[in-house]
Amino acid sequence: MSSSILVINCGSSSLKFALIDTVTQHTSLTGLAEKLGLADAQITFKYQGGKAVQTLAAGTHAAAMHAILGQLQELGLFDSVRAIGHRVVHGGERFKASTRIDDEVIAAIEDCARLAPLHNPANLLGIHTALESFPGLPQVAVFDTAFHQSMPERAYLYAVPMALYREHGVRRYGFHGTSYRFVSGEAARMLGKPLEDTAFVCAHLGNGASAAAILGGQGMDTTMGLTPLEGLVMGTRSGDIDPGLFGYLAGALKLDVNGVTELLNKQSGLLGLSELSSDCRELEDAAQAGNPSAILALEVFSYRLAKQIAALTVALGRLDAVLFTGGIGENSSYLRERVIKLLGFLGLQLDADANQRCIRGQAGCITTDGSVPALVINTNEELMIALDTAALVEQAR
Ligand code: ADP
């Protein structure tokens, strides 16, 4: 019986994909189409340890989807594909869970595009091209925001006029939800507890970074807001700032709103602080070599993260474990050490050897016996999307 799900993560100039067998949880074919819209667009396929690159003459998302279809047919994998699961960034308040895609769902995702103008249109392009290339297959949308829809009002409301919430959807939504769902499930398994009985603060630290308070598997609060700019220090994003900075910078630098937004999204964070790089690994190398700007940038990052983790415990009332995931969370023993040391008062105590061991795909506990555990967990958003898609398709049979 066919049991594979094709997972699509479509961006404005890229399209990532993975073919996942939801019974064995094995990923067979993966790949990435890049530079879509440009003359040198190309698509890379990885299969059984091998790699193949094709140029995409038309350079469009449709051409990329067509190449994926062709590759699936060539490798004899097409008949195993049961459905397609799409990552969709913003589901607003409309989507509290993953859903089968139909015309009404497409219209609702279009409506949410006003909240995520950079992401949702690209996600929709992926959906439309997949519907054209794979007309017979069921398609499912999995939303980054859905997990956080369980947040209570006190966590998601900004203290601005309520009319802005009612009329413009101004509230905190949160992102990285698919990762939080996967990682909290894994953490409960690692601790041998039912998910319903757990209270976690999870930090998803990649180029974009956020943290979330998760009680019994439900999102209670998170650091990202209306947009992914709020919260932690990130690769190139400032995270929390005084909103007064907008007016101040507009005056001081003669910038319009777009100019300030660009500065806070693209030139800030680790890059802005270090004046070296947005990449955590490069900064760590520089810090180990004694570079003061790199040390300072990582110091601000760790302090702000520790401060937010402590703040998020207020949403839980207790703390069963701190979870680290994402490229930085899964690899940076340097930052984890600094964060855990700042959280000693919450009962966390670092196991330095375990912390050094948990890198490059090695999951585990990095605190001592008797400490509140801190766990390193490898996220797998693609698998989560595939499992949701398979479950929804199964339900409909
Ligand atoms: P994205 O949000 O784009 O998915 P990732 O989750 O892949 O990003 O995380 C990218 C970040 O992880 C980069 O800052 C990178 O430097 C960092 N990272 C990856 N490996 C290491 C490592 N060994 N040590 C420190 N940081 C690392």
Q: What is the pLDDT of residues 337-376, one digit of tens each?
A: 999 999 999 999 999 999 999 999 999 999 999 999 999 9
Span 126-142, average pLDDT: 95
Length of the chain: 397
Domain identity same for 115 and 210: no
Q: Catalytic site residue 320?
A: no
pLDDT tens, residue by residue, 220-251: 999 999 999 999 999 999 999 999 999 999 99
**Domain assignment present for 358:** yes
Contact 379, 178 (CB under 8 A): no
Ligand 1 contacts CB of residue 281 (under 6 A): yes
User: pLDDT tens digit string along 50-78?
Assistant: 999 999 999 999 999 999 999 999 999 99
Distance 206 CA to ligand 1 centre (A): 5
- pLDDT tier for residue 1 given thresholds of 50, 70 and 90: low
Task: Single out the residue of 325, 319, 233, 232 nearest to residue 273, CA to CA.
Answer: 233
Virtual torsion, Cα 167, 171, 176, 182, nearest 10 deg: -100
Ligand 1 center from residue 32 Cα (angstroms): 18
Q: Let me know whether 222 and 367 are in one domain.
A: yes
| d(CA 183, ligand 1 centre) in Å | 17
Q: In this structure, are residues 198 and 184 in contact, taking their beta carbons and an 8 Å threshold? A: yes
- What is residue 82's predicted lDDT score, i.e. its pLDDT? 96
CA distances from 281 to 228, 294, 359 (A): 22, 10, 12
Which of 304, 391, 379, 389 minimizes the C-alpha distance to 339? 304
Reference 339, options 304, 298, 306; nearest CA is: 306
Calculate what percentage of the chain has a pLDDT beyond 90. 96
Q: Which domain holds residue 307?
A: 193-381
pLDDT of residue 223: 98
Is 156 among the domain residues? no
**Pick from 328, 334, 366, 330: nearest CA to 349:** 366
Contact 105, 126 (CB under 8 A): no
Of 117, 242, 231, nearest to 176 (Cα)?
Answer: 231
CATH of the domain at 14: 3.30.420.40
Q: Is there an atom of ligand 1 within 6 Å of 335 CB?
A: no
In a domain, 185, yes or no: no
pLDDT of residue 118: 86
- pLDDT tens for 261-292 read 999 999 999 999 999 999 999 999 999 999 99
Q: What is the DSSP letter of 227?
A: S
| Same domain (yes/no): 126, 197 | no
109 and 18 within one domain: yes
Q: Which residue has the tokens 């949410």?
A: 112
Ligand 1 pocket mutation, candidates 14, 237, 280, criterion most atoms within 8 A of CB? 280
Task: Tell me which of 102, 144, 221, 240 is the catalytic residue.
Answer: 144
Indicate whether 72 belongs to any domain: yes
How many whole angstroms from 331 Cα to the centroid of ligand 1?
Answer: 7
Ligand 1 centroid to Cα of residue 185, in Å, is 22
CB 384 less than 6 A from any atom of ligand 1: no
pLDDT in tens, 148-184: 999 999 999 999 999 999 999 999 999 999 999 999 9
Residue 370 lies in a domain: yes
Average pLDDT, the chain: 96
Among the residues of the chain, which ranges form H helices? 61-74, 103-112, 120-133, 153-156, 162-168, 177-191, 244-253, 257-266, 269-274, 280-288, 292-312, 326-331, 333-342, 352-357, 381-395
CB atoms closer than 10 angstroms to residue 167: 9
Give the ranges where 46-133 is alpha helix by DSSP (H). Answer: 61-74, 103-112, 120-133
Q: Does ligand 1 have an atom closer than 6 angstroms to the CB of 356? A: no
In a shared domain, residues 229 and 338: yes
Candidates 207, 265, 288, 302: which one to mutate for ligand 1, based on the most atoms within 8 Å of Cβ? 207
In this structure, the answer to whether residues 93 and 201 fall within a common structural domain is no
Structure-token pair, residue 204:
């998803």
- Please check whether residue 341 is in contact with residue 350, taking contact to mean a CB–CB distance below 8 angstroms: yes
128: in domain: yes
Number of H helices, E strands in the chain: 15, 14
Domains in the chain, number:
2
Indicate the pairing of strand 4-10 with strand 42-47: unpaired
**Do residues 98 and 198 share a domain?**
no
Same domain, 100 and 230: no
Same structural domain for residues 122 and 219?
no
Around 272, how many Cα atoms within 13 Å sit in the side-chain half-sphere? 17
Same domain, 136 and 238: no
- Give me 173's structure tokens: 């939504």
**Residue of the CA atom closest to atom 4 of ligand 1:** 206
Residue 378 Cβ inside 6 Å of ligand 1? The answer reads: no
124 and 203 both lie in a single domain: no
Q: Are residues 47 and 117 in the same domain?
A: yes
Long-range contacts of 288-297, Cβ-Cβ distance < 8 Å, separation of 24 or more: 288/334, 297/270, 297/273
**How many whole angstroms separate alpha carbon 359 and alpha carbon 371?**
21
Name the residue at shortest CA distance from atom 23 of ligand 1.
Answer: 331
Rounded to whole angstroms, how far apart are CA atoms 273 and 183? 30
Cα distance between residue 133 and residue 127, in whole Å: 10
**pLDDT tier at 3, thresholds 50, 70, 90:** confident
Residues 228, 209: contact at Cβ < 8 Å? no
Q: Is the CB of 329 under 6 A from ligand 1?
A: no
249's CB contacts (< 8 A; 6+ apart) are 255, 260, 263
In a domain, 88, yes or no: yes
- The CA distance from 256 to 263, in Å, is 11
**Residue 397 has what pLDDT?**
77
> Which residue would you say has higher pLDDT here, 263 or 3?
263
Q: Is residue 36 part of a domain?
A: yes
